[in-house]
Amino acid sequence: MQTSTVFLVLIALTFVSFIAGRKRSHKVAMAMGEGGMSLLHSLPKHYGYMAGLWAALPALLLLVLWVGFEPRVIHKLVVEELPVAVQQLPHSELGLYYNQIVSYASGSSDADLLDQAQVSAADHYLELKSTSGVMKALLVALVAVIGGVLAVQRVTPALRARNHVESICKWILFACSFIAVLITLGIVLSVLFEALRFFQTIPLTDFLFGLQWSPQMAIRIDQVAASGSFGFVPLLVGTLLISMVAMVIAVPVGLMSAIYLSEYASRRFRAVTKPVLEILAGVPTVVYGFFAALTVAPFIRNLGESLGLTVASESALAAGIVMGIMIIPFVMSLSDDIINAVPDTMREASLGMGATMNETIRKVLIPAALPGIVGGILLAVSRAIGETMIVVMAAGLSAKLTANPLEAVTTITVQIVTLLVGDQEFDSPKTLAAFALGLVLFFVTLLLNVVALYVVRKYREQYE
């Protein structure tokens, strides 16, 4: 049975339980004689909520777990029935073999592509699937009914139904906020787990200190270790190069805009200008990527050629400039917050001594705000390092160890995308390398953020 149907049935059962719980509370109250309603601890609807929650929650949990694990379990059962020769295939080929079965079973490919074992396995698959569907529906309904009935039976005038419902609700609220921890845990574990498998084939030192990155060559596992082509240094250098170009654009423009808008500009000018500049932050990154690849890169290339320079068509400069444009509003609003946090007394003291506004800004405000500004810049750098679409569309693919922004370099995020997009086999070092890169990316950005947030907070406390 379809999951959506089961879900609708579950909703219906929940509703029935709610009605039953409410009715029962009426009944037990009336049984107490005249004025029995006032003897109920909670309102009748609370008894209804209680019954509804008891019907819905356990069954919903079961349904989610069932839907989550069903494909895995069926996969296992189908593979166990396959001929022994097939079962001993390498993991990736077995996966392909199984995918063919599934796509035939779901009717999206023809039988003539498959051998006899696959066709019978597909029948087996469909059979398991329908059994699982029926069992899912029955079990979920059963759990819902049991939950509802048990809750309804417990209804007595003394039952503190409201408190009961409220404590369940509080637990639900807690679970929702705990999801944040689960997400972080999920990220760390999934990336770490795959990265560790990668480091079993490629030594950690080769990865961290290797100067060569050419994962496309690593088709056979024995070849990898020999060529040592998973060196991470060129990617890091490329990432930092592009980020640096971005900062060269974003920091002066963002910081000066923030200073001008908070210290010089009239209230009206500021009210118009800030939202307009913040549009830059709302533009999707894929749009920036398109702009970088089709407008900025050819422009820079032509400009360079007319000056007699050789510029790669996917130069780090083009990607960096566009990334800088994207980060301008980010730097601007961070610096704006920080400059505004400097107490007015410091400004007024400096101005009162006869300093010009310019001198006040440069000799008083900026030194006072420096830690905060540095923190903001670190946050912006972490943004630039993690940015993906601009570099995927406008930066190069081949890793080159260079500090020349006119050449094409590649970045960590570009490599993650190129290693994983369109690749079905999941066990080659090539795909696992993407997870190792993801791990590095996660920890680098995490470190930058933690440091930056710490610096900014310390700075704020200083003036509070």
Nearest-approach distance from CB 241 to another protein, in angstroms: 18
Q: Which stretch binds another protein (CB under 8 A): 134-142, 196-204, 238-246, 389-397?
A: 389-397
Q: Which amino acid is at 241?
A: L
Asked if 213 interacts with another protein (CB under 8 A), we say: no
CB of 259 to another protein, least distance (A): 6
Contact call for residue 284 and another protein (CB under 8 A): yes
Work out whether 226 is an interface residue with another protein (CB under 8 A): no
Of 119-127, 204-212, 304-312, 411-419: span binding another protein (CB under 8 A): 411-419
Considering only the stretches 22-30, 113-121, 345-353, 376-384, report the one whose residues sit in contact with another protein under the rule CB under 8 A.
Answer: 376-384
Determine the distance from the C-alpha atom of residue 283 to the mean position of all C-alpha atoms in its chain, rounded to a whole number: 19
Near another protein in 40-99, by CB under 8 A: 68-69, 71-72, 75
Collect all residues with Cβ–Cβ distance below 8 Å to 257 and sequence separation of at least 6.
277, 328, 332
Considering the rule CB under 8 A, would residue 358 count as an interface residue with another protein? yes
If you search the block for the tokens 């845990």, which residue do you land on? Answer: 185
Binding segment toward another protein, per CB under 8 A, in 28-36, 239-247, 287-295, 368-376: 287-295
Write down the least CB distance from residue 222 to another protein, Å.
25
Q: From the CB of 227, what's the least distance to another protein, in Å?
A: 25
Residue type, 386: G
- Single residue of 100, 109, 156, 388 touching another protein by CB under 8 A: 388
Q: Does 340 bind another protein (CB under 8 A)?
A: no
Task: Please tell me the distance from the alpha carbon of residue 339 to that of residue 258, in angstroms, as a whole number.
Answer: 8
Return the number of the residue (254 or 320) whose C-beta is nearest another protein. 254
Q: Which is closer to another protein, CB of 167 or CB of 398?
A: 167
Identity of the residue, 241 or 381, whose beta carbon is nearer to another protein in the bound complex: 381
Note whether 10 binds another protein by CB under 8 A. Answer: no
Binding footprint of another protein, residue count (CB under 8 A): 92
The window from 52-60, 153-161, 366-374, 375-383 that contacts another protein (CB under 8 A) reads 375-383
- Distance in Å, CB of 445 to another protein, minimum: 6
What is the Cα–Cα distance from 314 to 296, expressed in whole angstroms?
Answer: 10
Of positions 387, 405, 407, 456, contacts another protein by CB under 8 A: 387
Do 372 and 451 meet the contact criterion of CB atoms below 8 Å apart? no
Binding status of residue 245 toward another protein by CB under 8 A: no
Piece in contact with another protein (CB under 8 A), picked from 136-144, 328-336, 343-351, 364-372: 328-336
Segment 251-270, which members bind another protein (CB under 8 A)?
252-257, 259-261, 264-265
289 binds another protein (CB under 8 A): yes
Q: Binding another protein by CB under 8 A: which of 5, 87, 153, 190? A: 190
- Residue 84: half-sphere exposure toward Cβ, Cα within 13 Å: 0
Site for another protein in 134-173 (CB under 8 A): 162, 166, 169-170, 172-173
Q: Interface with another protein includes 303 (CB under 8 A)?
A: no
Among positions 290, 366, 374, 402, the unique one binding another protein when judged by CB under 8 A: 290
Q: If binding is defined by CB under 8 A, does position 361 make contact with another protein?
A: yes
Q: What is the 3-state secondary structure (H, E, C) of the chain?
A: CCHHHHHHHHHHHHHHHHHHHHHHHHHHHHHCCCCHHHHCCCCHHHHHHHHHHHHHHHHHHHHHHHHHHHHHHHHHHHHHHCCHHHHCCCHHHHHHHHHHHHHHHCCCCCHHHCCHHHHHHHHHHHHHHHHHHHHHHHHHHHHHHHHHHHHHHCCCCCCCHHHHHHHHHHHHHHHHHHHHHHHHHHHHHHHHHHHHHHHHHCCHHHHHHCCCECHHHCCCHHHHHHHCCECCHHHHHHHHHHHHHHHHHHHHHHHHHHHHHHHHCCHHHHHHHHHHHHHHHHCCHHHHHHHHHHHHHHHHHHHHHHCCCCCCCCCHHHHHHHHHHHHHHHHHHHHHHHHHHCCHHHHHHHHHCCCCHHHHHHHHHHHHHHHHHHHHHHHHHHHHHHCCHHHHHHCCCCCCCCCCCCCCCCCHHHHHHHHHCCCCCCCCHHHHHHHHHHHHHHHHHHHHHHHHHHHHHHHHHHHC
Site string for another protein, 419-448 (x = CB under 8 A): -xxx---x-------xx--x--xx--xx--
> Per CB under 8 A, does 280 bind another protein?
yes
Member of 82, 247, 328, 373 binding another protein (CB under 8 A): 328
